[in-house]
């Protein structure tokens, strides 16, 4: 099974590994071990997998199999004496890999006469069949016209089709223990088929489900708004279509005074967010503004109430909050040692706490505890650019810790702009507030009246810029110099008009201003 290496999809990877008896550890013999490889190998070992080591790209001149073998033994601790050299380009080693699978990997265990117990590995939506479910049968068998139960939500379904991939879908009579196949039950909603769920027989159900099941939970949230407000209906339909094939997307309507109608969306991580936004823009031709990504914070209020906060605009008053907790991660970074200094510097900037540092040849394995909200902005991009793409990064969410966090509000012409408010650590608030005010001063066009742009924490203003208004010279209409009283009278009249205009005038913030401010964070 070729698994997606990114942390956002680690749960799907763990379910795929649970459906197998062994794994191929494929390592690039020119590059060595990557952070994602490390995460997936540990998951495979947790599932008691027999692991076959394969060194790929062995035909390239830059290939260094001996160095990579010793690195695998140092970093992962797996014996590489039987490692197979292979090349997808020339076909070298493919026969050896197939032979090793037959010889080394254990046969599936399972009894065809026991009650049905099957693992739901994956599911997708087909416009003709409805939801197609990929299953791995542990015990028992699945055949047409069987009645089955999904154990997570206790729903009952009739099996309409059973088949295998060879590699095209082929209908067969039944799937037995150790086999992976698909079934169609007429389910229309993908959210009814959760990855990792246990499927059992309605007539003779098993008592305990398979271990390791957990429903997918969004980790990163952001607002999606169409640049052209007439595209709102198209965005709503596009998100509904995407959810047909990806049940982990969550969205709900959101109304912003500055950006209009849009949606607040939840994603498994930053990569998942980028994929969904790109698909919306390319497949459905919608131009989008994405607000600053944020994470879920846990608040305990003075009255003992626990609140999950995902949108800064719905944060209660600071005086009502007893504790403010943020999610922390354990980050693993593997990098050539020449970039070590700059990586430690960026991790310290992001409030990281070093846990471990070890060497394998000229590569360094770093482990850091870091707050997730510091990583979601620009950490990955900065890491890749400062190491010329050589560093690899992987993380897992560890726990919620109390933090000194506050809400930074942006006020334009004495009105708060909800789309620009963010939750930020107290130490960075002043610097960030000043940056946003300076950026907005350049991007908001001048009006007939003076516009104050302020950054505030609660009722305290921490940064301010002023956009000067256009000024009309009212004294030109006075001929021959004129008396001082007459000049002062005209200037006072202008001053009153300006203050009335400021009171009733509306400041239109252009889309470029929002995009510009969001780029500061990114």
Task: Give residue-wise pLDDT tens across range 91-119.
Answer: 899 999 999 999 988 888 888 888 888 98
- C-alpha 124/C-alpha 238 separation (Å) is 17
Query: In terms of Cα–Cα distance, which of 213, 161, 202, 167 is closest to 184?
Result: 161
Give the pLDDT band of residue 11 (cuts 50, 70, 90): confident
pLDDT for 522: 45
3-class DSSP assignment, residue 44: helix
Smallest CA-to-CA distance from 171 within 186, 185, 160 is with: 160
Q: pLDDT of 322-356, one tens digit each?
A: 888 998 988 888 888 888 999 999 999 888 999 99
User: What integer is the mean pLDDT of 51-80?
Assistant: 88
Residue that wins the pLDDT comparison between 391 and 283: 283
At 55, the pLDDT band (50, 70, 90 cuts) reads very high
CA atoms 122, 125, 128, 130: torsion sign: positive
Q: What CA–CA distance (Å, rounded) separates 301 from 191?
A: 33
Alpha helix (H) ranges present in 334-402?
Answer: 340-349, 372-386
Mean pLDDT over all residues of the chain?
A: 84
- State the Cα angle at 157 between 151 and 160, rounded to 5°: 130
Looking at residue 98, what is its pLDDT?
A: 93
Q: What is the pLDDT of residue 502?
A: 63
- Each residue's pLDDT tens digit, 410-465: 888 888 887 788 888 888 888 888 988 998 888 888 877 788 899 998 888 999 99
Angle at 11 between CA 10 and CA 14, to 5 degrees: 85
pLDDT at 8 > cutoff 70: no
Q: Is 75 in contact with 63 (CB distance < 8 Å)?
A: no
Residue 369 has pLDDT above 90, yes or no: yes
Residue 182 host element (H or E)? strand 180-184
State the Cα–Cα distance between residues 146 and 199, nearest whole angstrom. Answer: 12
Q: Select from 261, 260, 296, 263 the least CA-distant residue to 277.
A: 263
Q: Residue 339: how many CA atoms within 13 Å on its side-chain side? A: 22
Question: Is residue 4 within 8 Å of 12, Cβ to Cβ?
Answer: yes
pLDDT value of position 2:
52
DSSP 349: H
Q: What is the pLDDT of residue 7?
A: 63
For the stretch 54-71, what's the b/e string if a residue is b when 16 or more beta carbons lie within 10 angstroms of its beta carbon? bbbbbbeeebbbeebbeb
C-alpha R_g of the chain: 29
99, containing H or E segment: helix 94-104
Distance, CA of 30 to CA of 268 (rounded, Å): 31
Where is 11: in which H helix or E strand? helix 10-18
Residue 481 carries which DSSP code?
A: S
Cα-based torsion angle of the residue sequence 264, 266, 272, 274 in order, rounded to the nearest 10 degrees: 20
pLDDT of 182 above 80: yes
pTM for the full model? Answer: 0.70
At residue 86 the predicted structure's pLDDT band, cuts being 50, 70 and 90, is very high
| Separation between Cα atoms, residue 180 and residue 3, nearest integer Å | 16
Q: How confident is the model at residue 1 (pLDDT cuts 50, 70, 90)?
A: very low
Higher pLDDT, 189 or 258: 189
pLDDT of residue 18: 86
Give kind and range of the element (H or E) at residue 359. Answer: strand 353-360
Residue 85: other Cβ atoms inside 10 A: 16
Instruction: Name the percent of the chain lying above pLDDT 70.
Output: 93
Point out which residues pair with 136 in neighbouring strands: 119, 180
- Structure tokens given for 62: 């830059």
Question: Residue 521's pLDDT is what?
Answer: 54
What CA–CA distances, in Å, run from 13 to 199, 311, 372? Answer: 19, 30, 21
Spell out the SS3 assignment of 260-316.
EEEEEEEECCHHHHHHHHHHHHHHCCCCEEECCCEECEEEEECCCCEEEECCHHHCC
Asked if 360 and 71 count as a contact pair (C-beta separation under 8 A), the reply is yes
């Amino acid at each position: 099974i070729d698994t997606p290496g990114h942390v956002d999809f680690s749960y799907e990877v763990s379910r795929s590994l649970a459906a197998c008896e062994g794994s191929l550890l494929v390592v690039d013999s020119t590059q060595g071990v990557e952070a994602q490889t490390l995460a997936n190998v540990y998951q495979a070992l947790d599932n008691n997998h027999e692991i076959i080591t394969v060194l790929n790209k062995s035909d390239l001149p830059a290939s260094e199999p001996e160095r990579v073998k010793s690195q695998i033994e140092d970093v992962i601790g797996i014996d590489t004496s039987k490692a197979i050299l292979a090349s997808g380009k020339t076909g070298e080693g493919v026969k050896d890999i197939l032979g090793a699978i037959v010889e080394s990997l254990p046969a599936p265990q399972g009894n065809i006469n026991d009650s049905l117990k099957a693992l739901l590995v994956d599911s997708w939506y087909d416009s003709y069949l409805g939801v197609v479910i990929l299953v791995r049968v542990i015990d028992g068998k699945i055949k047409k016209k069987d009645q089955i139960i999904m154990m997570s939500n206790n729903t009952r379904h009739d099996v309409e089709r059973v088949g295998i991939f060879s590699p095209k879908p082929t209908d067969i009579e039944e799937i037995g223990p150790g086999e992976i196949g698909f079934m169609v039950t007429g389910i229309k909603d993908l959210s009814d088929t959760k990855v990792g769920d246990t499927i059992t027989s309605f007539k003779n159900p098993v008592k305990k489900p398979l271990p390791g099941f957990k429903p997918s939970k969004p980790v990163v949230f952001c607002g999606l708004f169409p640049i052209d407000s007439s595209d709102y209906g198209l965005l709503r339909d596009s998100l509904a279509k995407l959810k047909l094939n990806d049940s982990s997307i969550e969205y709900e309507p959101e109304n912003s005074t500055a950006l209009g109608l849009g949606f607040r969306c939840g994603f498994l991580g930053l990569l998942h967010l980028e994929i969904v936004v790109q698909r919306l823009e390319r497949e459905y031709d919608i131009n989008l503004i994405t607000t600053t990504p944020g994470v879920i914070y846990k608040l305990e209020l003075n009255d003992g109430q626990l609140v999950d906060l995902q949108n800064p605009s719905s944060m209660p008053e600071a005086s009502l909050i007893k504790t403010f907790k943020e999610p922390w991660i354990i980050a693993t970074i593997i990098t050539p040692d020449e970039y070590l200094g700059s990586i430690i510097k960026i991790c310290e900037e992001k409030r990281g706490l070093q846990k471990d540092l070890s060497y394998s040849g000229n590569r360094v394995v770093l482990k850091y505890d870091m707050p997730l909200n510091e990583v979601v902005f620009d950490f990955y991009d900065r890491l890749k650019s400062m190491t010329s793409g050589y560093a690899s990064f992987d993380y897992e969410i560890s726990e919620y810790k109390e933090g000194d966090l506050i809400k930074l509000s942006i006020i334009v012409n004495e009105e708060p702009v909800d789309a620009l408010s963010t939750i930020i650590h107290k130490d960075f608030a002043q610097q960030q507030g000043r940056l946003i005010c300076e950026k907005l001063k350049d991007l908001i066009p001048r009006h007939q009246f003076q516009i104050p742009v302020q950054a505030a924490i609660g009722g305290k203003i921490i940064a301010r810029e002023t956009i000067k208004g256009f000024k009309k010279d009212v004294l030109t209409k006075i001929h021959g110099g004129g008396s001082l009283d007459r000049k002062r009278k005209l200037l006072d009249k202008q001053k009153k008009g300006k203050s009335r205009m400021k009171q009733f005038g509306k400041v239109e913030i252009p889309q470029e201003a929002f995009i510009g401010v969001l780029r500061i964070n990114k």
